[in-house]
Amino acid sequence: MPKVTGEFAYSSDLSAAGMLWGHTLRSPHAHARILEIDIAGALSMPGVHAVLTHEDVPGTKLYGLEFADQPVLAVDRVRYFGEPVALVAAEHPEQARRAAERIRVEYEPLPPVVDPERATEEEPLHPGRPTAGHGYRDDPRPNIVRSLVIRHGDPDAEGDVSVSGVYEVGVQDQAFLGPESGLAVPDGDGGVDIYVATQWLHVDRDQVAPCLDLRPEQVRIHLAGVGGAFGGREDLSMQIHGALLALHTKRPVKIVYSREESFVGHIHRHPAKIWAEHRATKDGKLVNVRVRILLDGGAYASSSTAVTSNAASFACGPYSVENALVESTCVYTNNPPCGAMRGFGAVQVCFAHEAQMDKLAQELDIDPIELRLLNALGPGGSLPTGQKVTGTLPVADVIRRAAAMPTPAPEELPRDPIRLPGGSGNTTRGEGVKRGVGFAVGFKNIGYSEGFDDFTAARVKMRADGGAEVHCAAAEVGQGVAGVILQVARTELGTDDVVLAPHTTATVASAGSASASRMTWMASGAVRDACRAALEERERTGGRDVDVERTYRHPRTTPLDPETGQVTGERSHVAYACAAMRVVAEVDVELGLTRVVWIGTAQDVGAAMNPQAVTGQIEGGTAQGLGLALMEEIQTRDGLITNASFTDYLIPTTLDMPPVVSELVEEPEPDAPYGVKGVGEPPTVVSTAAIVAALRAATGRDLTRVPVKPDDIVGL
Amino acid sequence: MRISLRVNGGTHETDVWEGESLLFALRERLGLPGSKNACEQGECGSCSVLLDGKLVCSCLVLAAQAAGHEVVTVEGLAQDGRLHRVQEAFVAAGAVQCGFCTPGLVVAAADLLGKNAYPGDDEIREALSGNLCRCTGYAKIFDAVRSTGGTL
């Protein structure tokens, strides 16, 4: 409710008495040596209270989600365009910006590594980084973030037919609307409170504290209102910078990124190049799938190692494949750093495996839906990692239900140009417009994988009168987990008198990340367990006030074998969710303009806790996939981002989005509390593939790269 | 410089720097952060307000330009503690996820419905096409606006 009145406080809305504004000076180079930084000119500017460089970082100089390879502030080298170099705090944001312009940084530009296909032949960008460790395969080539090979069955097995293709995915941005921002407030005892929009409060704290040379409890992270996340807030943005300025000036410091800064200041979806070969019997049974995936991780590791592995696990799609060879490699370059974005490696490979399935269907002259059903994975089947599917995975069901959805009849001409490709640009009366129907199916894991100790804590304080306060650090990023927590607590405690305390590191242990479609499952489990424990405790103590905290863990996962990519225990993933989608598109084949007319989808959602919120996730996730299919790409030239604005980086508007009809396929997940599954990612995984399939059907072209551009459609 | 702004029916005297946008003044000077700072270059509509009854991006108007004009922000839509029907419809339809675009969309939708009580789907699409939303895919926003049609 406060979100519709303007009262809800987002991270950029905060203020405090005596507050200063922070600003970050960023590198104009993709790769350069730093020879000298002179801050004198900036310090003498009006309103300026502090100008800080790497020399002012009191603790460790590097941080990172998986490897601490990213400098808080660049030390002697910058590795990407927009890398933070210095900080300013001033009375007014404009004073801070102007002072930052007066910091004189002497750079010696270095040739940037920008071609991921050649990165392993170039000088290492992180010379000190060990090539082995973390249980990963040792790959001594320079600039490898992680490489993974999955050998399953007989990777040389032959089929009756074979189809091959090379597919490319451009760099997508999360483009959440709330810019990175937050307020850091010194506590007067050397510690700091940071109010910020993030996805995982405790992992922020554990990265921030060592850089500030503070104990974890001296850094308290509080969730401010989050204006969207989609993976882009897994990595730190202003947290350490704001805290450094606040501790240095002894004043509260607010930092708010501009949109341009947001585009260069956070990680993106990995661009990918995928070489795929599918071998099958003449009846259409997949015999062997061979896939090579190259991901450009950009300058720093972020969560690239997990994306590399996810892309590999889902490379063959939700199909039973007895033999497979999958190589997935992520390299360091001087391109913008990449990390988590909704779909997390599964989006890129879905685009490739679904194009391949359509190609195979054409080669064999089999109906593409029938081909998918013939090969559909399900419970009891195996992934190429050798993991048996133990929970629910109704692939055949979502395919059948999506395929059975009636598509709208073609609309008569003439019609209002707003309902033609080109829209209000009024570029056609309908001549040259062709219609196509596409289909795709995809899947993805839920929860953290490969042996990661994935848990969520919840704390319930229950008063004698039965009312309760729930503490859980699960980040509400717009997905609705706050509502889920309250729904679970009210159901379990049997009362509506339940409030959700502010999300913070100060009062409860970690919730893990609002990522990997895991938060509903994990928070439900933790809150359920804490509520039940609170009721038991109250019963035991004869109705007194109780205060209990419980930690929920999903079934344990184990790492993949570093040599074979096969599971070392029962499972490397906890569970999966799948979705199938049918798309009708119209394409002006003369001008290369497109209009998606209608989307129908059937999604495996476990048990839907809040059907309205579930369909909201499906519609929104589909829109992000539509963006990647048709318009969204971070453009770079020699590593420099050239379209860091909503003028030049387009995301779907009301004019781009068709109606999305969703069918929820509800099969409760046996391992999950209340049978829930995460629902946020499958629509994004599948929609890019399904939309491009419709464009192929309309145009007859291969369209092997997304976003599809008018030139690709026209054949220029 | 010192200016006087008429916002949501009240008058506010405030100091601004000459380069400050109306959006900045509303958010940082007047304590009205409901109008949002998603792009600050007139592309996203999150900062939409009514200036003398006309829908504008407050990031593209200088604070000083707005002096002497009537500004209505999202905070001014609810009357006497009652939500505007568009606000109620957004809540009921589930049209809010992260909610960062919501204030701008609510103002834009209220503006549309004020001019056209029964907008058709294409009219809604066109009227709201200047407001970016990254979470919802717009479906439930359409539902909300459709459900409000004719009820104002």
Both tokens of residue A716? 């220029």
> What percent of the residues of chain B are helix, what percent strand, and what percent coil, each to the nearest 5?
40, 20, 45
The dihedral sign for the CA sequence B134, B139, B144, B148 = positive
Q: In this prediction, what percent of chain A has a pLDDT beyond 70?
A: 100
Question: Rounded mean pLDDT of chain B?
Answer: 96
SS (H, E, C) A535-579: HHHHHHCCCCCEEEEEEEECCCCCCECCCCCCECCCCCCCEEEEE
Q: Of A229, A480, A619, which is closest to B140 when you measure between CB atoms?
A: A619
- A5 near B CB under 8 A: yes
Q: What is the DSSP letter of B136?
A: S
The answer to whether the CB atoms of B94 and A616 lie below 8 A apart is: yes
Residues of chain A contacting B98 with CB distance shorter than 8 Å:
176-178, 226-229, 477-478
Both tokens of residue A372? 């998918």
Q: Of B28, B32, B128, which is closest to A654 when you measure between CB atoms?
A: B128
Neighbours of B118 (CB within 10 A): 10
Task: Give CA separation, A155 vs A150, A159, A265, A289, A347, in Å.
Answer: 9, 12, 41, 8, 24
Which of helix, strand or coil describes residue B88? helix
CA angle A189, A195, A201 (to 5 degrees): 100
* pLDDT tens digits along B66-95: 999 999 999 999 999 899 999 999 999 999
Q: Which of A5, A256, A650, A661 to mutate to test the interface with B (most CBs of B within 10 A)?
A: A5
- A408 near B CB under 8 A: no
| Residue B152 confidence class, pLDDT cut points 50, 70, 90 | very low
The dihedral sign for the CA sequence A693, A697, A698, A701 = positive
SS (H, E, C) A421-469: CCHHHCCCCCCCEEEEEEEEEEEEEECCCCCCCCEEEEEEEECCCCCEE
| Residue A132 confidence class, pLDDT cut points 50, 70, 90 | low
**Gyration radius of chain B's alpha carbons:** 15
What is the per-residue pLDDT for A528? 98
Q: Which of A496, A508, A506, A495 lies closest to A460 in space, CA to CA?
A: A508
Neighbours of A98 (CB within 10 A): 18
What contacts A383, CB < 8 A, 6 or more positions away? A313, A316, A377, A389, A573
| Residue A249 confidence class, pLDDT cut points 50, 70, 90 | very high
Q: Which of B26, B32, B97, B146 to mutate to test the interface with A (most CBs of A within 10 A)?
A: B97
Q: Is the pLDDT of residue A134 over 80?
A: no
SS (H, E, C) A159-203: CCEEEEEEEEECCCCCCCCCCCEEEEEECCCCCEEEEECCCEHHH
* pLDDT tens digits along A443-502: 999 999 999 999 999 999 999 999 999 999 999 999 999 999 999 999 999 999 999 999
Decide if A499 contacts A485 (C-beta within 8 A): no
Reported ipTM? 0.97
* φ, ψ at A100 (rounded to 5°): -60, -35
Average pLDDT over residues A600-604: 98
**Which of A 682-711 lie inside 8 A of B, CB atoms?**
none
Task: Give CA separation, A298 vs A80, A119, A451, in Å.
Answer: 8, 10, 26
CA angle B42, B43, B48 (to 5 degrees): 60
Identity of the residue numbered A362: Q
* pLDDT tens digits along A360-398: 999 999 999 999 999 999 999 999 999 999 999 999 999
Average pLDDT over residues A542-567: 96
- A479 near B CB under 8 A: yes
Residue A420's closest chain B neighbor by CA? B122
Residues of chain B contacting A258 with CB distance shorter than 8 Å:
40
* pLDDT tens digits along B22-41: 999 999 999 999 999 999 99
Decide if A245 contacts A22 (C-beta within 8 A): yes
The answer to whether the CB atoms of A657 and B43 lie below 8 A apart is: no
The answer to whether the CB atoms of A653 and B106 lie below 8 A apart is: no
Q: What is the DSSP string of B51-86?
A: ETTEEEEGGGSBHHHHTTSEEE-GGGTSBTTBPPHH
Q: Of A228, A416, A619, which is closest to B100 when you measure between CB atoms?
A: A228
Residues of chain A contacting B102 with CB distance shorter than 8 Å:
3-4
Task: Give CA separation, A112 vs A79, A88, A109, A332, A644, in Å.
Answer: 8, 28, 9, 11, 20
Residues of chain B contacting A622 with CB distance shorter than 8 Å:
137
**Which of A 47-106 lie inside 8 A of B, CB atoms?**
92, 94
**Which of B 58-117 lie inside 8 A of A, CB atoms?**
73-75, 77-78, 83, 87, 90-91, 94, 96-103, 106
Q: Is the pLDDT of residue A133 over 70?
A: no
Determine the Cα–Cα distance for residues A687 and A689; give it in Å rounded to an integer. Answer: 5
Q: Is the pLDDT of residue A1 over 90?
A: no
Count of CB contacts below 8 A, A vs B?
166
The answer to whether the CB atoms of A646 and B77 lie below 8 A apart is: no
Q: What is the DSSP string of A584-630?
A: EEEEETTTTEEEEEEEEEEEE-BS-SSHHHHHHHHHHHHHHHHHHHH
pTM of the model: 0.98
Determine the Cα–Cα distance for residues A630 and A148; give it in Å rounded to an integer. Answer: 30
* pLDDT tens digits along A192-204: 999 999 999 999 9
| Residue A265 confidence class, pLDDT cut points 50, 70, 90 | very high
What is the per-residue pLDDT for A549? 98
Q: What is the DSSP letter of A125?
A: S
Residue A480's closest chain B neighbor by CA? B97
**Which of B 37-56 lie inside 8 A of A, CB atoms?**
37-41, 43-44, 46
- A653 near B CB under 8 A: yes
Determine the Cα–Cα distance for residues A401 and A665; give it in Å rounded to an integer. Answer: 9
Q: Is the pLDDT of residue B150 over 70?
A: no
Which of helix, strand or coil describes residue A31? coil
Q: Of B38, B90, B130, which is closest to A178 when you measure between CB atoms?
A: B38
The answer to whether the CB atoms of A8 and B124 lie below 8 A apart is: no
Q: Which of A255, A654, A661, A679 to mutate to test the interface with B (most CBs of B within 10 A)?
A: A654
What is the per-residue pLDDT for A285? 98
Residues of chain B contacting A651 with CB distance shorter than 8 Å:
132, 134
C-alpha distance from A165 to closest chain B C-alpha (Å): 31
Average pLDDT over residues A297-313: 97
Sheet holding A144-152, edge to edge: A144-152, A323-332, A286-298, A272-280, A161-169, A705-706
Which of helix, strand or coil describes residue A21? strand
* pLDDT tens digits along B123-149: 999 999 999 999 999 999 999 999 997
The dihedral sign for the CA sequence A76, A78, A84, A86 = positive
Question: Rounded mean pLDDT of chain A?
Answer: 97
Average pLDDT over residues A222-249: 98
The answer to whether the CB atoms of B91 and A1 lie below 8 A apart is: yes
The answer to whether the CB atoms of B136 and A622 lie below 8 A apart is: no
The answer to whether the CB atoms of A655 and B129 lie below 8 A apart is: yes
- A177 near B CB under 8 A: yes
Neighbours of A551 (CB within 10 A): 15
Residues of chain B contacting A478 with CB distance shorter than 8 Å:
97-99, 135
Of A132-136, A195-199, A419-423, A431-435, the one with minimum mean pLDDT is A132-136
CA angle A702, A705, A709 (to 5 degrees): 90
Helix (H) and strand (E) counts for chain B? Answer: 6, 5
Decide if A224 contacts A9 (C-beta within 8 A): yes
Residues of chain A contacting B36 with CB distance shorter than 8 Å:
10, 12, 177-178, 227
Q: Which of A1, A176, A616, A661 lies closest to B90 in space, CA to CA?
A: A1
Determine the Cα–Cα distance for residues A247 and A323; give it in Å rounded to an integer. Answer: 57
* pLDDT tens digits along A99-130: 999 999 999 999 999 999 999 999 999 998 87
